[in-house]
Structure 1
Amino acid sequence: MKILVRFDDICPTMDFAQFKRATDLLDKYEVKPLIGVIPDCKDPDLDIEKPHEDFWEFVKGLQAKGYTIAMHGYQHVFNSDHKGIVTNRIGSEFAGHPLNVQIEKIKKGKDILEFHGIYTDIFFAPAHSYDENTIKALAENGFNYMSDGKSNAPYMWFGVKLMPDRNSGCPRIRHSNLYTAVFHAHEWVRPDKEYGYRELQSLLSQHSANIVVWNDFAQVSCGNFTLQRINERCYCFYEQKLKPVLVKIKRELEKFSIWK
């Protein structure tokens, strides 16, 4: 079993106090996560603090400590009304845009990172929302990996290796071979999201022996492209279409004490 810990929405205006809570826990258990840096964040929801002038040195310090840096979108602005391949949420920074637009966005983001001395070949999209053109644009810009997808094994697409990320948050650890636990530290101040910190605590205390760095996670062998794409579509259908109906039926049955 391999577990990857991932933090999203790293940017100069994020909630640094909440992120420090995360890094303190990670340091305690000597866990080195994958962190997604937004190159040019324009998302008003992430305009939490005044921009930290030392942000890029801060990121390079985390990298020197063993954290792996990924590019997390470009500006984190949802300017398309498409859902993407694996999500049911309308709104995307990438999905639905023409190939040339996506190539340009990814190029601009990569140029910003490299201007600040940060080099990476790993990408993941805001809200897990991407389409076929996103993968092509990543390949065009020299990216080799994407931390997104709902298959049960990695697969190659246009020369980019898609690493499974079946959960939008912290998964229940059962019997699967690969897990990606996704955290958004800035959300922990919200009453409806404060459980995220406790989930991180629990994951680290119970499963730190199975948590690996990105390089180990990314070395997992690829599955067959066609089979993994079918697997991904079946998983998405179940999670987005079938499961909500089953949950609703179960709740209705519980009202009449039929479901035990």
Structure 2
Amino acid sequence: MYKTKILVRFDDICPTMDFNQFLRAISLLDKYKIKPLIGVIPNCLDSDLMIEKPHEDFWHFIKKLQARGYTIAMHGYQHIFESNHRGIVTRRLGSEFAGLPYEVQVDKLRKGKAILSSHGIETDVFFAPAHSYDENTIKALSVVGFKYMSDGKSPKAYMWHGIKCLPCKTGGCPKIRNASNYTAVFHAHEWVRPEKAVEYDRLVDLLETHSNMIVSFEEFSKQRCGNRWGQKLLEKCFVHYQAYIRPQLVKLYFKILKQ
């Protein structure tokens, strides 16, 4: 029988984040002995993430988490969007990578990796801000020394230019239905916003209900790969459904309810 595997992922980890909210997450994760994937922004310049004064012990804090079994991913470079492209798997305009020349993307990735290395943090895992990347991003990741990307929208992992693209089909906490590989994505700093407070409750529910299915990144990354062309076709279908078909179905549903 196929075993369901769930990876817990936290985005937007940086020196100026809301530490209290992230510490709430860590407390929950510790309770259930969960080791997540956390995306660290090497040189964050995103004004939306300038929530607190820079924590001087940030990099020591990250190294301690890594020593405890957390997997560190590089989450972009500066987390600012200088391209107006959508990328491959999202319909949202704006990207730190997609649409930029290959050489520019290589430079960003090398600079980000160098910053992490300067603080004693080595990683071969990457995911882009806003889930936005293109084929040049994948090529650049391979050249710079990455091996994994957590942003694919396909049912199964697939290899592309030497990078293992791992399933991350939702931008939040997925509904666990069929036996599959799921990535649950959380942004702890958003929990203070009334409309986003429910995301904390969803993390609680996920840990209480499915903790036996939650695995480390090391185990999650060992999943078998599907055929690249088949998975990319399914990925395109999924992106098209999410962007165009699902919104119309939702409108139709509520229209019927009003009748």
Q: Same fold (TM over 0.5)?
A: yes
Matched, 1:162 2:165: yes
TM-score after normalising by structure 2: 0.98
> d(CA) in 1 for partners of 2:247 and 2:223?
32
Matched, 1:58 2:61: yes
> d(CA) in 2 for partners of 1:187 and 1:252?
31
**TM-superposition CA deviations, 1:37-81 (whole Å, max 9, x none):** 000000000000000011000000000111000000000001110
Partner of 1:112: 115
TM-aligned CA deviation for residue 122 of structure 1: 0.2
Q: Which amino acid aligns with 1:147?
A: S
Q: Which amino acid aligns with 2:250?
A: V
SS of 2:106's partner is: helix
> d(CA) in 2 for partners of 1:128 and 1:106?
15
Partner of 2:131: 128
SS of 1:77's partner is: coil
Partner of 2:211: 208
**TM-superposition CA deviations, 1:2-45 (whole Å, max 9, x none):** 00000000000000000000000000000000000000000000
Q: Which amino acid aligns with 1:30?
A: K
Matched, 1:21 2:29: no
1:182-201 matches, within 5 Å, as: 182-201=185-204
**TM-superposition CA deviations, 1:121-148 (whole Å, max 9, x none):** 0000000000000001100101000001
Structure 2 spans left out of the alignment, 5+ residues: none
Partner of 1:80: 83
> d(CA) in 2 for partners of 1:72 and 1:252?
40
TM-score after normalising by structure 1: 0.98
Q: CA RMSD in A?
A: 0.5
Matched, 1:143 2:146: yes
The sequence identity of aligned pairs, in percent, is 62
SS of 1:148's partner is: strand
SS of 2:167's partner is: coil
TM-aligned CA deviation for residue 252 of structure 1: 1.2
**TM-superposition CA deviations, 1:116-174 (whole Å, max 9, x none):** 00000000000000000000110010100000110000000000000000010000110
SS of 1:69's partner is: strand
TM-aligned CA deviation for residue 240 of structure 1: 0.8
SS of 1:147's partner is: strand
Q: Which amino acid aligns with 1:228?
A: Q
Runs (4+) off by over 4 Å? none
Aligned residues between the structures: 256
> d(CA) in 1 for partners of 2:131 and 2:144?
19
TM-aligned CA deviation for residue 210 of structure 1: 0.3
TM-aligned CA deviation for residue 176 of structure 1: 3.5
SS of 1:188's partner is: helix
> d(CA) in 2 for partners of 1:254 and 1:198?
27
Partner of 1:218: 221
Q: Which amino acid aligns with 1:127?
A: A
> d(CA) in 1 for partners of 2:199 and 2:67?
26
Matched, 1:6 2:9: yes
1:222-233 matches, within 5 Å, as: 222-233=225-236
Matched, 1:94 2:97: yes
TM-aligned CA deviation for residue 89 of structure 1: 0.5
SS of 2:182's partner is: strand
TM-aligned CA deviation for residue 253 of structure 1: 1.6
